[in-house]
Amino acid sequence: MLLSEKDGKLVTDDLSESYDVLDGGIIDFIGCDSNSYKELSNNELYGSTELIIRYDNFLNWLFRTFQTDPAQFRKDNAVKLEINKGSKVLVTGCGLGDDIGEILKIVGGSGEVYAQDLSKEMVLEARRRVQNNNVFFSISDASFLPFEDSSFDACFHFGGINLFSDIEGAINEMLRVTKPNSIVMFGDESVAPWHRGTDYGKAMIKNNSLWSAEPPLDLIPNGIKDFSLNYVLGDCFYMIKMRTRKDDNDLANIDIPHIGLRGGTIRTRYYGDIEGIDPILREKLIEYSTNNNLQVSEVIEKGISEYIKDLKHGKQKN
């Protein structure tokens, strides 16, 4: 639904729902009376100002531990989004907005960055740190994004998805709101498989149980292409990058005929399975096809077609 301003709030066009607009233009989709969000709440963890201090401390420790320059890491991620000047980008689970700056450097003043997080305190702090007029914040649920289909030129998330109550929903939502043939990239803690049996991997997992998480490969839908999975930050975080596929025009053509005795196509071999026939008759079918330089599928299809044609004309043979 479209939103419009009324009495200092944003309301849906049918006036059924309204949303508070906080300082800095932050739209609070969680603190509304919407039935869509009635079961959601910012709990003590998400609403704690202490969380901000802990989060900053964790990130400082993290990059020092993995001997990584945070600015360069975020720049590399922004480049991998394949965005340009003027692009419109969504950052889900934005935390304190640390990833926004490098994205802004690419999209420029003519671009837009939308950032959301479930935590009101985190979003308020991110807004304080990122004052740009072309950055728009919201307090919302990543598994129920308040954006229309195909709204963004790229979508990015890093850190936090392991804790989402609906990881599959969040992945599907990122793909839904991203334009066709555009990048969705997300990652979180996960020790790479080749380290899991080593002291290094065991030590990392003992230090932080989240590092035992597996990349959610089983939750990736089929509407994607150009999929890649990499491990970053000491092989303790996965990063999944994929491109949205809104149609199947670039998939395999399953109607190309096979060359050889059996014949048929991928489609006919899969969808055209028929009841088994007598083994002796099958041998005769292969022999006939070979002697007459025909494909088995061609003979079967022609025989069935002629049989059905005879049935229609009352010529069934006993």
pLDDT in tens, 243-290: 998 776 778 899 999 999 888 999 988 888 777 788 888 888 889 989
Q: Is residue 239 very low, low, confident or very high in pLDDT (cuts 50, 70, 90)?
A: very high
> What average pLDDT does this structure show over 25-42?
60
Domain 42-244: give its CATH superfamily. Vaccinia Virus protein VP39 (3.40.50.150)
- Confidence category of residue 44, pLDDT binned at 50, 70, 90: very low
Residue entry with tokens 């990048």: 183
Res 37 pLDDT > 60:
no
Question: The whole model's pTM is what?
Answer: 0.84
34 vs 201, more confident: 201
Would you say residue 45 has pLDDT above 90? no
In the structure, what pLDDT confidence band is assigned to residue 133 with cuts at 50, 70 and 90? very high
Give the model's pLDDT for residue 170: 96
CA distance 314 to 96: 78
pLDDT at residue 31, as a whole number: 59
CA angle 170, 99, 104 (to 5 degrees): 110
Within the chain, which residue ranges are assigned CATH 3.40.50.150? 42-244
3-class DSSP assignment, residue 114:
strand
What is 266-312's CATH number, 1.10.357, 1.10.1220, 1.10.10, 3.40.30? Answer: 1.10.1220
Range(s) within the chain of domains with CATH label 1.10.1220: 266-312
d(CA 92, CA 99): 10
pLDDT at 48 over 80: no
Q: Which has the minimum average pLDDT: 128-132, 133-137, 153-157, 301-305?
A: 301-305
Helices (H) and strands (E) in the chain, counts: 9, 11
Q: How many other C-beta atoms can be found within 10 angstroms of the C-beta atom of residue 201?
A: 19
Tell me the CA distances in angstroms from 140 to 5, 27, 235, one per residue in order.
18, 8, 30
